[in-house]
Amino acid sequence: MPLNKYAPQAQTHRRTQSAILIGTKNLIATVGLSKMSMIEIADSSEVSRATLYNHFRDKESVIAALCESECARMIAIAQNASNATDALELLSIQISTDPALSNMRIHDPAALTRGLAAAQSLLWGNVCDALAVITGSQVVADLAMRWLIGQALHPLTAQDSRLHAELLISRANI
């Protein structure tokens, strides 16, 4: 008998929540944020509507959870990089090539701008704090955050991501 009899339920809950967030992100990439509904989220996630509502009360709460998940994913990517330049390059590429952000630039620019303008939010603070540890400087982290946020609106190529990351780190160390 397992030590925690609720462990299988917790695993199922996490898998279901992950499926919902993946389905939501895929929907944003295809139909856009403003045009999707809870019914479409359930269908895209391959869960019942009841299951979706057991996890989230409305579309806004799904979007909030997706933002939290994406910020945590970005922090993990940065923390697993071998150095600050690589971390910034990887983050830049992730942001610049993200299909959901790409679709939002076209179909939901107001919502994207509102999300990016919330720089004082706890989520942005968590990413910035992780960047401060990685870069060794709060000033560099603040600058890197502004650089990365700009890429959500104006993406870079992979080559430019590397070049800009190198420049940012080298100039910060002068």
Domains in the chain, ordered, with CATH?
7-172 (1.10.357.10)
Predicted confidence (pLDDT) at residue 14 exceeds the cutoff of 90: no
Q: What is the pLDDT of residue 60?
A: 94
**Is the predicted pLDDT of residue 104 greater than 90, yes or no?**
yes
User: Cα–Cα distance between 84 and 40 in angstroms, integer?
Assistant: 39
pLDDT averaged over every residue in the chain = 91
| Model confidence, pTM | 0.88
Q: What is residue 3's three-state secondary structure?
A: coil
Q: What is the DSSP string of 46-63?
A: T--HHHHHHH-SSHHHHH
**Closest C-alpha among 149, 131, 139 to residue 85:** 131
In this structure, the number of other CB atoms found within 10 A of the CB of residue 25 comes to 18
Q: Which two tokens stand for residue 118?
A: 């919330």
Residues 6+ apart with CB under 8 A from 118: 124
Percent of the chain past pLDDT 90, that is, above it, reads 80
Q: Per-residue pLDDT for 164 more than 60? A: yes
Rounded mean pLDDT, 58-69: 94
Q: What is the pLDDT of residue 155?
A: 96
